[in-house]
Amino acid sequence: MVGWDFSVLWAAGNAILEGHSPYGVANFFYPLPFAYFLAIFALLPQKVSLILWLALNVGLLILAFRRAFWKWLPYAPFMHLLSSGQTGFLFWSLERGIGPHYWRTPIMAALITLKPQVALILLPWHILGWLRHDRKTALRFLLATGLIWGLPLIWSPRWPIEWWNSLPSNFVLSAANTPGVFSLTKLFPALFPVALVVAVLVFVWGQFQSKEIGRAAALLASPFGLFYSTIALIGCAPARLMIPASLIAVVLSIITESFIPFIALPLIVIGYGLNTHYQGIAHRLIPARRGS
């Protein structure tokens, strides 16, 4: 069904407008503050809102890549987003607002936490950098996050409990459907302890590399999300590599009935990032050697 995910989002926003809890809507798993944002779209009929939602996402793609936006249209996670009305690219776009800005950076980062599984991919590299070099920004981030999450407690003090109770309970099954190392446990359940150790090592290592590698490492290590979580990697490596890999991953996932093939996407980002890094080092060393 086209726009199925958006139908859930629209229904949650409509519940807010009608004075009901959005957690009465099946399959709505977002924190309450995000439901208030969705209420804006629920002011319009669902089909009209879906068109606006898709236009917003395409507009954000154009804003990000300008004239080269068309190169990323065939990226499998983005095509899924257009067919389902998912939210991942919106949060990816918020991350682009993180930079040397006094309040915009912590506010953008705090808004990203409204999709926690995406925040675990997009934010760790930034948070580590703030803790190491800019603790004032880290404090502003905590303050902004506390306000965004805490303000609805004034009129709905039980919303965190309702939200928590709405989340899927089978963690192991959910982890096996991720596009990272935990996806291997779908075929080999006994590998879960090994996957956990590998995930921790990859995650920690990645956060001390470039932002793109850090993001890919966080995705590989995450026990949450589905194949479309790889929308977070858009732009992290050239489209000529990511587009065919994503399409091949879709085909192989259908054949294998698992999301294991999507591991290729973060691995491509890591490989490309490391190759670029070491090529840069080599180019700096060659003139130095010639000069000596």
pLDDT in tens, 147-170: 999 999 999 999 999 999 998 876
pLDDT on residue 29: 94
* Separation of alpha carbons 157 and 241, rounded Å: 47
- Whether 171 shows a pLDDT value over 60: the answer reads no
Residue 122 confidence class, pLDDT cut points 50, 70, 90: very high
pLDDT number for residue 264: 97
Better pLDDT: 65 or 3: 65
pLDDT at residue 268 tops 80: yes
pLDDT of residue 176: 86
Q: Lowest mean pLDDT of 110-114, 160-164, 187-191, 211-215, name the range.
A: 187-191
Question: Mean pLDDT of all residues in the chain?
Answer: 93
Q: How confident is the model at residue 280 (pLDDT cuts 50, 70, 90)?
A: confident
Q: Quote the pLDDT of residue 277.
A: 85
For residue 1, pLDDT over 60 is answered with no
Residue 290 has pLDDT above 70, yes or no: no
pLDDT above 90 (res 2): no
Query: Using 50, 70 and 90 to split pLDDT, how confident is the model at 3?
Result: confident
Cβ-contact 102, 130 below 8 angstroms = no
Confidence of residue 285 (pLDDT cuts 50, 70, 90): confident
Percentage with pLDDT > 70 across the chain = 96
Q: Summarize the confidence of residues 128-156 as an average pLDDT.
A: 96
